[in-house]
Structure 1
Amino acid sequence: MTEVPLTNEPSTPFATFARFIKVPAVLAEPTLQIVVEADIALDPPALEIKRVLKDIFLTQCKLLPVAFRDDIRTPGLSPREATRAKLFVEGFIRKKIEYSTADCNGVIRDRIADVPFSGFTDLRDDDDDFFLLPLLGESSRSSSSRFINQKNSTIPRQDQYFFENSVFYNEQPYCELVSANFFELDFSPNHVDANETFNKLREKIVVDLSLTVLQVRQIDLQTQAKK
């Protein structure tokens, strides 16, 4: 099939003015070092490892603030900037192992194994870990009011109360994968001679995992334009 050249002309974008927008904002971009060790069974036994490919999967990435700056507050919303937080991560390394067996002219075997990991790291404003501090609105404690008994002003009413409480629903910070650098040592836990097979592979893995921590925030375009 012959490709036909097509003409193109610039189009006028449809846009409306908005002073405030709500977009993901980058809070931090840490690089975590993950160290794991695992034994992987090989069936049928391997004679030689040909290639190992790796990917990393995050199943959990949660930011837990543990310290706040109290000098920035707005009446009614009471937002607080977190100056220190724990970043909890959990996931697994997926390994794709290709190896040959003792069979002459045999096929290359494929073994897929998931190596789990979990841990946490400390993010601190004092160490310049944050580009932008996490912002959390504070909910108020519930309060109640009592009423006087209209028929007997010396006692309170037992059947009428006024209750009040407010809840602020925050945007949960979340993570995105950026890059992963793998360093590993693979070997048989039991010594084998030349041309002997082994049915277990021990792996020591170090991963430098880079993440982006984000939080959806409201941005004032008018304020940004003045800067």
Structure 2
Amino acid sequence: MSDKNKKKNEGKVSTNQNECDSYQHHPNVSIGKIITKVPVVLAELTIQVNVDALIEFPEPVLEIKDIKKHVKLVQCRLLLPTNKLFIKGFVRKNIQYASPSMEIDQSTSTTVASDLHSLTVDIPFQTVTEIKRFLTKPVNPEVNKRNEFDFFVSKSLPTGFPEKDEFQSSDLSQFHQESTQHYNELPFCELISSKIIEWDEAIDRVPFPDSAPLGEGIFTKIEEKMVLDITLKVLQNQQIRVSSTTNDDCYHDCDESC
């Protein structure tokens, strides 16, 4: 078949997206008192973490243009059966800064040429706080148990002992044990929000080495003081009882009376 005939036989598909109607579907609801397993909020709290860090740049910096921040939580562990909450994470910082560039143009008494660069760093933090009031009491872990038991044995004594006496003890050639393991629900966290107040200050700023406008300088290190407020929820999967008394058709015609 020639290429011309192939092009004639090629199919074409076109579709039109039209608006369609939808209807509420009446769900099937179990009636009565039902036991379900759901995440339960144990506590909701705001934790304040103070951070002091030193950041070094790979090149001289003329000025900082912008800093974008994101909180990364890598550990949030409620140590049951205590009320101590262990927090560990990082603050991801993307720092946009201007760096002098002699390749663009030599600095003068009125101008400084620079490139716009960025540096991404992770500032670590960790703390331990106490949950003073639980919204819902956590289910404490059940302790594993191991119990050893023996069986009584009675044997005749060898020559040299009275004939009526017997050796009575447990059998040392056997080992018997009952063990129980519990697979407890581990509490977990959800990060809700974070707020950062920071102070960044150059600690090695020196005047510009060449001709430059008044007050211009360069630095490679900044000291950062940061107050971080983290709001989070502490949850645990628990079994709770819920009650449903009706499975009427209110879902079809929802109004204020329903």
Under a length normalisation based on structure 2, what TM-score does the superposition of the two structures give? 0.71
Tell me which residue corresponds to 2:98.
100
Aligned pairs for 1:1-227 (under 5 A) are 4-14=18-28, 19-65=34-80, 82=81, 84-103=82-101, 104=112, 106-124=114-132, 129-151=133-155, 154-156=167-169, 157-193=171-207, 194-222=215-243
Question: What SS is found at the alignment partner of 2:137?
Answer: coil
Q: Distance in 2 between matches of 1:97 and 1:209?
A: 22
Q: 2 CA distance for matches of 1:96 and 1:15?
A: 50
Aligned-residue offset at 1:162: 3.2
Kept after mapping to 1: 8 A contact 2:49/2:227: yes
Distance 2:22 2:37 in 1: 33
In the alignment, the residues of structure 2 paired with residue 140 and residue 8 of structure 1 have an alpha-carbon distance, to the nearest angstrom, of 54
RMSD across aligned positions (CA): 2.5
Distance change (3 Å), C-alpha of 1:137 and 1:191: closer
Q: Unmatched 5+ residue regions in structure 1?
A: 66-81
CA apart distance, 1:100? 1.2
SS of equivalent residue, structure 1 residue 180: strand
Instruction: Give the number of the structure whose alpha-carbon radius of gyration is greater.
Output: 2
Contact 1:46 1:100 in 2 (8 A): yes
Unaligned runs of 5+ in 2: 1-14, 102-111, 157-165, 208-214, 246-258
Q: In structure 1, how many angstroms separate the alpha carbons of the residues matched to 2:144 and 2:53? A: 47
Q: SS of 1:149's equivalent?
A: strand
Greater fraction strand: 1
Q: Distance in 2 between matches of 1:140 and 1:37?
A: 43
Does the 8 Å contact 1:181/1:209 carry over to 2?
yes
Distance in 2 (alpha carbons) for counterparts of 1:195 and 1:141? 71
